[in-house]
Amino acid sequence: MDEYSCFVDWDKMDVSAQSQDTKELTCTDFHELKQLARQGYWAKNHSLRAKVYHKLISNIPCRTVTPDANVYRDIVVKIVGKRSSSSLPLPEFVDNSLVPTYCLNAEGVGAVRKIILCIANQFPDISFCPALPSVIALLLHYSKDEAECFEHVCRILACNDPSKRLIDQTFLAFESSCMTFGDLVNKYCQAAHKLMVAVSEDVLEVYSDWQRWLFGELPMAYIARVFDVFLVEGYKVLYRVALALLKFFHKVRAGQPMESDSIQQDIRAFVRDIAKSVSPERLLEKAFAIRLFSRKEIQLLQMANEKALQQKGITVKQKSLALPKRQNVHLAVHAENFKSEIVSVKEMRDIWSWIPERFALCQPLLLFTTLEHGCSLSRFYSHSEGHEPTLLLIKTTAKEVCGAYLSTDWSERRRGGNKLSFFGTGECFVFRLQPEVERYEWVIIKHPELASTGSETENHAQTASSTLSSSSIPSEPSDRLSPFLAARHFNLPSKTASMFMAGSSECIIVGGGDGQALYLDADLNHGRTSHCNTFNNQPLCSESFQISILEN
């Protein structure tokens, strides 16, 4: 049909969805280009999409020496030789990934393997890239020949813009992206996450499939629309679409019995057959309706996850063991070694499913318990300072169980001198387990001046109820650190951090979403919780105040 059709099997392509209108793309403004990509301006014209892909990829900033079409023509015969394309072995870095055929003809299917081998020859630093076969197969539909496709893929792989992430090329990058996706699911798809926790023995294993959903299982019409926007907006789009897929899976399958013995297989099958449930336009609409964190914030979270993996020595995929197998990934605690006067192992598993993925790799260590250490606040500080993050568990005499995940070292409270001052990050949250399970998170201080000026301790109850509000992200995310992370982790000014915890010699306050907060005074036998400005005073059982640290 046109010069970009040599690898396309038009019997497989939905020709009815193609327009023969001759359109051109002349805009260069990013915001206008982003809107056109999301609207599918070039999606229904095969030739126009090919030209747009060429233009967008040619504008990717790359390393000085990046293999081009001429390099491919020089090396392909030496590398492939006289072997049949279908019999060519794939390099280990594709990790036995699916090689999707999409709407390729026989020549195109063979060309995918040839291009992969040539890329392996030119990029010896690639150690793990399971998305590569899908990217090559997709771009072949819109390439004049194999050499042009090779050049386009090389430019994507050789991108050297530190702010523009495209395709993971190492196991460390891939695994940290899976952990980051797990964190985002925990935040934005809580219903789906709860389902994963209930039916899966290893939640991270489920979330490690997220790139496969896109680059492997998603039908051609869908991944092409995703790729349209991906080339303009970058990696964040992939997270958005994967989250949308999970939301639709939960919506369609909620309450229904599993179709297989594995939730992974069920999700894969759902994505393969997504046309039965959702159109490409509806999928993208759902994806962009998610008020996701900024690119900078996601990048910081990714960096934190990479650091956690490096500290654990998990940087390459081993043939026998990739990650330390976490029985019930949301609970790294060994049940036989875990003891608590406050929560059961099952309740601890619920809590563990809420904490950030990078700390779910770790084991908890008991630092303080009123049963052993008494009810002194100063003694609590002395045992817990120097550790982060920590988990606070409380049980009242009325058998109510609540607590908080605290992301920051309690020694930070000293910044306020003798005054009550707020600190911490947006990863903090408060929760209750009895009488029912609830989690409250993402609170922003309405009056940041409290961080520097403090507040009189006699007004701490009013502070807890009147200065906390629920919010998704800081009002100016481009100028502030991610609410996920502590400022000192990245040598950023502390004043840019969000604040969620407060401590003085007289009390502790931890804020949560929806007006929820915990308050404990200097005698740890006394405390209260607030919810919607209504206080429920309950003296605390003396042996029931416990704190655990998640350490490497």
Per-position DSSP letters for 344-388, written without gaps between them: -HHHHHHHHTTS-HHHHTSEEEEEEEHHHH-SBHHHHHHHHTT--
Query: Is the per-residue pLDDT at 358 higher than 60?
Result: yes
Same structural domain for residues 525 and 381?
yes
Say which range, 153-167, 234-248, 367-381, 464-478, has the weakest mean pLDDT.
464-478
Token pair belonging to 148: 């042009």
Query: Is the per-residue pLDDT at 377 higher than 50?
Result: yes
Say which range, 401-405, 471-475, 499-503, 515-519, has the weakest mean pLDDT.
471-475
Same structural domain for residues 301 and 183?
yes
Cis omega before residue 435 (within 30°)? yes
Same structural domain for residues 251 and 308?
yes
The C-alpha atoms of residue 406 and residue 218 are separated, in whole angstroms, by 39
304: closest CA among 361, 234, 253?
361
Helix axes 236-253, 280-289, angle to 10 degrees: 110
The residue that leads in pLDDT, 64 or 71, is: 71
Query: How do residues 458-468 score in pLDDT, each as one tens digit?
Result: 333 332 222 22
The C-alpha atoms of residue 511 and residue 519 are separated, in whole angstroms, by 9
Residue 337 included in any domain: no
Query: Is the per-residue pLDDT at 345 higher than 80?
Result: no
User: Which residues is 369 bridged to in the sheet?
Assistant: 546
Cis omega before residue 257 (within 30°)? no
- Across 38-43, average pLDDT: 92
187 to 52, 290, 470: CA distances (angstroms): 35, 11, 14
- Across 209-219, average pLDDT: 95
Say which range, 39-48, 168-177, 533-542, has the weakest mean pLDDT.
533-542
Same structural domain for residues 133 and 183?
no
pTM value surpassing 0.95: no
Classify residue 185 by its DSSP letter: H
Instruction: Please give the pLDDT value at position 298.
Output: 86
Say which range, 103-112, 119-128, 180-189, 370-379, has the weakest mean pLDDT.
370-379
Over the chain, what is the mean pLDDT? 77
Into how many domains does the chain fold?
A: 3
Q: Cα angle at 188 between 131 and 365, to 5 degrees?
A: 90
Query: How do residues 245-302 score in pLDDT, each as one tens digit?
Result: 999 999 988 777 777 778 999 999 999 999 999 999 999 999 999 988 788 888 888 8
- Which domain does 190 fall in, by range? 171-312
- CA dihedral sign of residues 466, 471, 475, 480: positive
Same structural domain for residues 150 and 179?
no
C-alpha Rg value of the chain to the nearest Å? 26
Token pair belonging to 498: 């969000």
Same structural domain for residues 182 and 154?
no
